[in-house]
Amino acid sequence: MLRGQFVLHETPIGVNLVDATMTSELNALFARVEASDSLAVIVFDSADPDFYLAHYDLSDSDEVKHVLAHPEEVHPWTALLARLSSLPVATISSIRGRARGAGSEFLLATDIRFASRERAIVGQFEIGMAAIPGGGPSSRLPGLVGRGRTFEILFGGLDYDGALAEMYGYVNRALPDGDLDGFVDAFASRVASFDLQTIRDIKHFVNLATQRPEAEYKDQMDAFRAAVNRPAQQYIARHLFEAGLQQRSDVERDLPHWVTRFPYRPASGGE
């Protein structure tokens, strides 16, 4: 068994973003997992109890520039999530704090999700920034929560707490916050004591019965890339950054509210 924690890389006021450093470290971890002949289980939890994984780093980084300039390449986030889904081990998200946008996409690509009933928050806020989620929840949510709740989650861009996420099937189960770590440890240790080949067989066959065509993921990411090139997304993003996006601020604490604060009006030229 292996326990991975999401940790802050750059600034003490950060909010656990999915950025180039993190994806690079995750890919290194996955390479280790794929090469191992003894690893059975990975648990992903967060060192920051308020932010499991806030969302994708939306700042104008070199990585974002490169990705937008090379639409012909498979987006590294699409590739990472596909790789995560296919790792030959059991992957478990132990969720405390906010997991929105790419944070939610990450946990949807793991096998199993256990959540703190009081402190987990999951959601896909992207529509509030005039962008479809790029990391595949349009394909992964229906197999967990059904078509109707998928539409609600993606159209509404709202937060889902542990109890509601459990009722919908967004997470496997919501546990009292004080019980979460013990429950996840016991479950993961149990799985880690079992036969490796059996874990690989189960992973293979359940994936076969549940995975969606790769083209769906590519097309959704392309639609996301198109969205971030439109004025609406850029207008909202600029205002959110000014208000405190990607800082430990009220914007990040209540993102579903803040995305409604800067409505883009193309008729008036936006600004």
Judged by the rule CB under 8 A, the positions of this chain that interact with a copy of itself are 90, 111-113, 126-128, 130-132, 138-140, 142-152, 154-158, 166-167, 169, 171-173, 187, 190-191, 193-195, 197-199, 201-203, 205-206, 208-210, 212, 216, 219-220, 223, 227, 230, 232-233, 260, 263-264
Residue 87 to residues 134, 231, 242, 271, Cα–Cα distance (Å): 21, 38, 39, 46
Q: Which residues, at least 6 apart from 17, have a Cβ–Cβ distance to it below 8 Å?
A: 53, 54, 55, 56, 57, 246
Shortest Cβ 202–a copy of itself spacing (Å): 5
CA distance 79 to 69: 17
CA distance 229 to 63: 15
Q: Which residue, 104 or 150, is less far from a copy of itself as judged by CB?
A: 150
Shortest Cβ 257–a copy of itself spacing (Å): 10
Give residue 1's identity as a one-letter amino acid code. M
Q: Which residue, 66 or 257, is less far from a copy of itself as judged by CB?
A: 257
Q: Residue 113 pairs with which residues in a beta bridge?
A: 93
Shortest Cβ 14–a copy of itself spacing (Å): 27
Q: Which residue, 57 or 111, is less far from a copy of itself as judged by CB?
A: 111
Q: Which residue, 15 or 141, is less far from a copy of itself as judged by CB?
A: 141
Shortest Cβ 147–a copy of itself spacing (Å): 4
Cβ(47)–Cβ(6) under 8 Å? yes
Shortest Cβ 241–a copy of itself spacing (Å): 18
Shortest Cβ 154–a copy of itself spacing (Å): 5
Backbone angles phi, psi at 96, to 5 degrees: -135, 130
Q: Which residue, 80 or 221, is less far from a copy of itself as judged by CB?
A: 221
Q: Which residue, 96 or 113, is less far from a copy of itself as judged by CB?
A: 113
Q: Which residues, at least 6 apart from 168, have a Cβ–Cβ distance to it below 8 Å?
A: 144, 145, 149, 153, 160
Q: If you ran DSSP here, which 8-state letter would residue 176 be given? A: -
Neighbouring C-alpha atoms within 13 Å toward the C-beta of 185: 5
